[in-house]
């Protein structure tokens, strides 16, 4: 698949931004997996850095490469975080994340990083967030039906995320995800604030004013969008 090759190139370009001695946030998802593999190759060549993973999955993958993992206890601030996204808004570089289920840890890691680098293929670029995917919202399982009702009052269609076995999906943090379909969102910062105001919400997949740079894999090569 040629697009997959381009995505790999974009992931490698992001991995090339990691320098010796850095503390790096390691994203989750298929694009981040390519990025972690690229970092693994650089590690084998002698690059040394420390990573904070955004999911158990990414932690396992990084460990398999021998990459040193640390926690916020020793590294409360990161030099760089690199992650994928589900949608990128062209004008603002705001994001929807969370189809992979790791949005809460991903947002904590992004917020701790001086620079947050996003890697996507061009199919993820939209004029308005919400055009292609729902907004995933992580909520506590206690009272989730009530939380869902209140999220519905914000104008979305709300559906609990299910796992492969037909049960309720459980996040790494032991919470649930409600996928909220709003359609194209006119004012993402306002919606993000309204979602945050609902009791029971842990975090939403709207990433507002967090992106430093987006590396886009397109048919005509790589493009870098800078905030
Ligand atoms: O934000 C997310 O949850 C997504 O999984 C994101 O990381 C992109 O995943 P992908 O690279 O597999 O499309």
Question: Annotation-wise, does 205 bind a ligand?
Answer: no
Residue 29's contacts (CB-CB under 8 Å, 6 or more residues apart) are: 83, 84, 99, 100, 102
Among 12, 106, 138, 203, which one carries the catalytic annotation? Answer: 106
- Cβ neighbours for 7, distance < 8 A, ≥ 6 positions apart: 30, 31, 34, 119, 121, 217
Task: Give yes or no: 106 in active site.
Answer: yes
DSSP-derived secondary structure letter, 19 = -
- 130 in contact with ligand 1, CB cutoff 6 A: no
Q: List the domains of the chain with CATH numbers.
A: 2-127+208-226 (3.40.50.1360), 135-204 (3.30.70.260)
In angstroms, the Cα distances linking 149 to 74, 153, 224 are: 40, 6, 40
Written as one string, the DSSP assignment of 132-167 is SS-EEEEE-STTHHHHHHHHHTTT-EEEE-B-TTSS
pTM, 2 dp: 0.96
The tens digit of pLDDT for each residue in 116-171 reads 999 999 999 999 999 999 999 999 999 999 999 999 999 999 999 999 999 999 99
Show Cβ contacts of residue 75 under 8 Å, excluding neighbours closer than 6 positions.
Answer: 23, 50, 52
Is residue 84 annotated as involved in ligand binding?
yes
Q: What is the ipTM of this complex?
A: 0.95
Separation of alpha carbons 25 and 69, rounded Å: 10
> Which SS3 state, helix, strand or coil, does residue 60 take?
helix
- Site to probe by mutation for ligand 1, drawn from 31, 133, 161, 169 as the one with most ligand atoms within 8 Å of Cβ, is 31
Q: What is the per-residue pLDDT across 25-44, written as a single tens digit (0 to 9) for each? A: 999 999 999 999 999 999 99
Handedness of CA 110, 111, 112, 117 (dihedral sign): positive
């Amino acid at each position: 698949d040629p697009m997959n090759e381009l995505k790999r190139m974009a992931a490698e370009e992001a991995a090339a931004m990691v320098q010796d001695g850095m503390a790096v946030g390691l994203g989750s998802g298929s694009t981040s997996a390519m990025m972690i593999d690229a970092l693994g190759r650089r590690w084998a060549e002698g690059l040394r850095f420390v990573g904070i993973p955004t999911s158990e999955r990414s932690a396992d993958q990084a460990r398999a490469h021998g990459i040193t993992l640390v926690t916020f206890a020793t590294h409360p601030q990161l030099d760089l975080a690199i992650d994928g996204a589900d949608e990128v808004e062209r004008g603002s570089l705001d994001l929807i994340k969370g189809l992979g289920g790791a949005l809460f840890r991903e947002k904590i890691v992004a917020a701790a990083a001086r620079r947050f680098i996003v890697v996507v293929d061009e199919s993820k670029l939209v004029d308005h967030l919400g055009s292609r995917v729902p907004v995933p919202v992580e909520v506590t399982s206690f009272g989730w039906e009530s939380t869902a009702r209140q999220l519905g009052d914000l104008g979305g269609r709300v559906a609990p995320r299910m796992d492969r076995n037909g049960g309720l999906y459980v996040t790494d943090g032991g919470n649930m995800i409600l996928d909220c379909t709003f359609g194209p969102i006119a004012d993402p910062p306002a919606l993000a604030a309204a979602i945050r105001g609902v009791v029971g919400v842990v975090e939403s997949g709207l990433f507002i004013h967090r992106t430093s740079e987006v590396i886009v894999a397109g048919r005509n090569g790589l493009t870098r969008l800078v905030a």
